[in-house]
Amino acid sequence: MTIDNVKLIRHGSTFNVVVNGEFELPSTDKGFKFFNNIPGWSGENLEIGNGKVYNPDWNSQVCELDGNRNYVLTQYFDFDCEFNTLEKSKCACINQVACSPAN
């Protein structure tokens, strides 16, 4: 299962608060590599790689959540008053295509 183009945008806005939601950092030189903690994301053994492996029309890198075992990929956000002051909010992608608030 792969994820890409992760966004969190407030209604009426175009600003995406997700850092590195397209998993372009770090570069994998059109291959696949395993990383612990990449820019914007926390996790162990995150498999990041070329989306063309899964679909020839994809031009970006993706994160594979179940490369060798099940993984958790997490990103934290601190919102200002414009985003309803949600301090230390957490969004976790746990073997899902969509992100949901984590408890």
Q: Quote the CA–CA distance of 64 and 81 in Å, as a whole number.
A: 34
Residue 9 DSSP label: B
Phi/psi of residue 53, nearest 5 degrees: -60, -35
Higher pLDDT among residues 67 and 94, named by residue: 67
Q: Quote the CA–CA distance of 51 and 59 in Å, as a whole number.
A: 6
pLDDT per position as a tens digit, 16-49: 878 899 999 999 998 999 999 999 899 888 899 9
* CA proximity to 10, closest of 88, 80, 77, 83: 83
Q: Work out how many domains the chain is built from and give that number.
A: 1
Residue 42 DSSP label: B
Q: Which domain holds residue 28?
A: 1-103
